Every structure is written in C-alpha cells, then in structure tokens.
Chains A and B, each alone.
Chain A
Amino acid sequence: MNRKELKDRYAIVGAAATPTARSHAPDKSNLMLEAWAAKLAIEDAGLRRSDINGAVHTMMASPHPPMEGTDTYSRMLGLRPNFYMTVARGGQTAHNGILLATQMLSLGLADYVLVSCAITGWSSSHVHRRTDGEIGLKVWPKPDYGLAATGWAAAAGAGSIHGMLASRHMHEYGTTHEQLGAVAIAARQWAALNPAARLTDRPLSMEQYLASPFVTEPLRTADCCVTSDLGAALVITTADRARDLAQTAVYIKGIGVGDQARSQWWDKTNYTRFDGGHAKQSAFREAEVSNDDIDVLELYDCFTTETLIHLEDYGFCAKGEGGAFVESGAIAPGGSLPVNTHGGQLAYGYLFDFPGVLEAVHQLRGSCGGRQVHNARLALTNGHGGEMLLPQMCSSHATMVLGSEVG
C-alpha cells in the first residue's frame, strides 16, 4: 500500500479558544490571551506544561505584534520549548502553523507542538489607546506604493479591498445583495446554536440585512466578520502518541497550499476566484477523498463574498453559482452542506483561520451539542490570506482535511 507522507501520521489532540468572543477582553494583551489559550489547549489534551517542547506562534502579518523578542507568550506561560517560531502570511495562520508543526514532529525535534494565535481586535478599536491588535491596513505601516493614503486605509478594516471581490462577482455573475445576505443569515443561524458565538443572540432576517448600513458598498455591516478579542491554540503530536491522550484524536488527512501569485495579480480572474482549487487538489490527493466524502466545511469567511468564492473554487457548486447555491439554504442548519457551523467569522468571531479549525476538531469529536453535524467523520477547513488587490497584499491559501478515524 502506498504510504502517505502526511495522512494519519499526525493529530490534533488539544484545541481551545479563550471564552472571550462575547465578553471581549479589554484587560488582556495579545500575549496574555495567547498564553491563556495555550493553557486551555494543553489542559484539553490532558498534558502538562513540561510535555510541550515546541511552539509555533502564528499571525496574519509580521510584525503583528512584534514578537521576535524574548517576551513571548510561551515564556510568559513558563513553557520550555526546543523551538519557538513565527509563521505569518495572511489568514491561513493556523494551517501554516500546523504544517510547520508536522514537519518538526517528523524530524523528531519535538513531541508535542503548540500552534497558537491571539488578537485584541475588538479592544484595539473600541478601547482608548489600544492599538496592538487592530485589523486593517491603517495600523500596519510598512513601506509600499503609498496609494492607501488616498482613502483606502481610511475605510473600515479591509472592506475597501474585499468589496472589490463582491463588485466583480456581482458584475460577472449577477450575484445579488440577497444572495450575499443569505450567507450572513446562515452564519447567524449557526451562531444561534453556538452559545460561545459573539452574535449567538442576534438573529438576522433578510429585511434586517437589507436595511443594515453599507460599510464599503456593496458590503454591509452584516457582510463583515466581527472583531474579537480572542486567543486560540492547538496541540499537535504524532498519531502514536495521540492514541493515549484525553481527547479523541483528530487526524490530519491532508494539507494543500496555493497562492494567487502563481497566476500573478494581473490575471483579472483573481477577483472572483482564489487559489483554493489548487490547494484543494493537493490536500484531497493526500487525504484520498472527494467532495462527496466531506461531512462539514469550515471556510474562511472574513466577508460573505469569500464563502461564495470558496464554494465555487472547491467545486461544491459551479463558478458563478455560489449565490444561488447559498440562497437555496444549502449551507444553513438543515441544509445539504453544513458550512461554518460555529457561526463563522461573520458571527462567531474573527481570529484568522483558527475558529474554523477548532470547530472542525469539535465536530469530529462529536462535542458540538445542538449544532453537531450527525456522524461527522471528515471535515474540510481552509485559510485564506488576502487578495492581490493592493501591492502590499498577499494572496495565500491553504486547505486541510481532518478526520476522526484512521484510514
């Protein structure tokens, strides 16, 4: 039998997020949130601090925050890892961190690796003088072409960029406001089943969606993910070690990566597709699965448009038909294809791709209560890092298949 390089060799054995999506954490720094999440993940795995001998800190961009110094969350938490490394490239931070963790395990450089992340996205935009975790173009000053000064950086978050995708998708495929709204409404319906979700008690009707104000038209407030103060962490180990731990092991079946720079950003189709199709091919080949095998999807939904584009790129519907597919109720509770069952970044909270990976782990453990997808055995997650729509933006993509069983 063909022995795979990755499939079933490594597992996620600890997974936790700080319980702060709803309450926010104005008294916690990034480091404190990340240390808290790491503590929760280690405890979730039934491990001790001394078991952890590798740490991967992941971020969207570096410096964000600058953590090249000694004062890392791992030092704060009293960890003594063999290595502490940072990976940073867009909203696929968890996937990149997991990929690095598997390679460190493969080389025998660690036994249990933490992959973690935190942002104070809510506090930094709502609490006076907090700027350490703000999302958007404004607070990442770095040399570039200077065009952001004319009004791009002033717009809320990254909506000035991601709105361009909606603009083109609507233009090319006739996608409607109501179809974008169907994504937002499905996310709220899932969030209603998740007490930890930021917007769990904020149901959304189409009438309310259409009445909500534009931020960067065609995107409304309800099209945007919710800022959060969140930390999250995962513990990764080898499959043989995983079998003896506290939780049901969740096996890494396959990981694939992509980058829009493969086709360069002057490819004008970049506005209605990402490199998910490429990333998926690698991940599915390693995992030996097809779309029909996937029980639950946790997709990177920083804005509603992204969900449509992912569903199309991954072949769950035809290119351009994401709007109609979602409008049919397919991705909402009770639909044929459960997507973002925690509420997604649109309604649970934003922490790059971590919430989606955590939710996939919980679904495969069968611990999701009222939102549990029946008999979920294979989950698809993805992370997506920006769009090649301003010179300083990246364009990376990652896909992962997780499973509850070996084989």
Chain B
Amino acid sequence: MTADTGLGLGPWTQRPLTDIAQHAEPFWEGLTRHEFLIPRCRLCGSWFWPVTICPHHDAIPDLDDTQWAVASGRGRVFAFVVVHYVMDPAFAGEVPYVLAHIELDEGPLFQGRLVGCVPSDVEIGRAVHIHFLDVPQTGVTYPVFTLAVDEG
C-alpha cells in the first residue's frame, strides 16, 4: 500500500498529518491549492520562515501585519544531508535520501525534502523548485523539492 507518487516514496505519505500548530495551518491549506505560502511583512515586504513578526521596525508591528503570501517555490540548496539510516520503517525503502535547507529566492531558509534525484547529483548552490505532492487518500499536499533541470 504505497502512494502512487511516481517518486518512489513510501507508506509515510498515507499517514494523516497531525500536530500542526494553529499558526501554521494556513501553510498547509495553501499547499492543497498548490500555493507555496510563507509569511511576509505587510509593512515592508520582508519574507520570513517560520512565522515572524517583522523585526525591521522600531514599533512592533501588529500580529496581523505578518501575512501569508505566495512565494515562488524556487531557491538553491544551502546545506544538505544524505540520510542513510532511518528509525522509521516507513522510510526504509527510500534511503539514501536527501534533506536540504533551501535558500528561497525570497531570502528565507526553508527545510525541504529533495525527491526524484540521486544524492550524488545534489550539491550546495544547485537550483531547486517545489513539487506539490498530492495524497488524495488523506487530502494532504506535501511540499517537496526537485532539482531544477535548467541551471540557467
């Protein structure tokens, strides 16, 4: 019973997504619409991850001044590890797999699972973009990342 993702991902994709903080719910709701939302300051346009009341103002902004805004979903590998050993058997069929910190084009660092690549192709600085992994059985859409084909 595995998701037909075409990405070789295991049974973890079928799990319900639990324990999402209330302040992070808009992120997951956006994903179901294939929108990659990250927090943005309404006053100055600065982007953040995770939710942050913008520090670039003398007066503390209102909480509502941090809004979820659609980001490009593009960025570059900033740091990464290759997972060779897992404690959770639901991932056993995927090792070795890549976890990356991605420097988004908007600036913030985002934690992304890279899929559809072999670890030896990954290096710091490689361009990546988001892939919306829909799981119809649970209604969850996961944000995963793939290496950009065109390095530009």
Additional 10 contacts, C-beta under 8 A, given A160-B99, A217-B84:
A145-B27, A149-B12, A149-B15, A151-B97, A156-B86, A166-B81, A214-B96, A217-B82, A219-B81, A389-B111
A159: chain B residues at CB < 8 Å are 81
Q: Mark B109-152, 1 if CB is under 8 A from A, else 0.
A: 10101000001000010000000000000000011100000000
| Complex Cα gap A268–B49 (Å) | 13
Chain B contacts with A in 87-122, Cβ cutoff 8 A: 87-88, 90-91, 94, 96-97, 99, 101, 103, 107-109, 111, 113, 119
Partner of A266, one of B12, B91, B109: B109
Counted as pairs of residues, one from A and one from B, with CB atoms less than 8 Å apart, the total is: 127
A214: chain B residues at CB < 8 Å are 82, 84-85, 96
Q: Given A145-B20, A268-B109, does the pair A153, B88 have CB atoms closer than 8 Å?
A: yes
Q: Any chain B CB within 8 A of the CB of A136?
A: yes
Sorted from nearest, which 5 A-B pairs have the closest CB atoms? A163-B81, A154-B88, A143-B21, A217-B82, A391-B50
B103: chain A residues at CB < 8 Å are 268
| Complex Cα gap A350–B14 (Å) | 34
B139 to chain A, nearest CB (A): 14
Q: Given A138-B88, A154-B91, does the pair A164, B81 have CB atoms closer than 8 Å?
A: yes
Partner of A264, one of B21, B55, B90, B99: B55
Q: Are B83 and A154 in contact (CB under 8 A)?
A: yes
Chain A contacts with B in 115-170, Cβ cutoff 8 A: 125, 136, 138, 141-147, 149-156, 159-160, 163-168
A134 to chain B, nearest CB (A): 9
The size of the chain A interface, using a CB distance under 8 A, is 42
Chain A contacts with B in 180-229, Cβ cutoff 8 A: 213-219
A405 to chain B, nearest CB (A): 44
Q: Mark A250-275, 1 if CB is under 8 A from B, else 0.
A: 00000000000000111010010000
Q: Are B21 and A144 in contact (CB under 8 A)?
A: yes
Q: Are A216 and B111 in contact (CB under 8 A)?
A: no
Q: Given A144-B21, A145-B20, A146-B20, does the pair A271, B86 have CB atoms closer than 8 Å?
A: no
A141: chain B residues at CB < 8 Å are 18-19
Q: Are A154 and B86 in contact (CB under 8 A)?
A: yes
The size of the chain B interface, using a CB distance under 8 A, is 45
A168: chain B residues at CB < 8 Å are 78-79, 124
Q: Any chain B CB within 8 A of the CB of A171?
A: yes
Partner of B84, one of A166, A215, A391: A215
Q: Which residue of chain B has its CB nearest to the CB of A145?
A: B24
Q: Which residue of chain A has its CB nearest to the CB of B97?
A: A151
Q: Are B85 and A155 in contact (CB under 8 A)?
A: yes
Q: Are A213 and B84 in contact (CB under 8 A)?
A: yes
Query: Can you report 22 A-B residue pairs in the complex whose CB atoms are below 8 A from each other?
Result: A142-B19, A144-B21, A145-B27, A149-B17, A151-B12, A151-B97, A152-B99, A152-B111, A154-B90, A155-B86, A160-B99, A171-B79, A213-B84, A213-B85, A214-B82, A214-B84, A216-B82, A216-B85, A217-B82, A217-B119, A264-B55, A391-B49
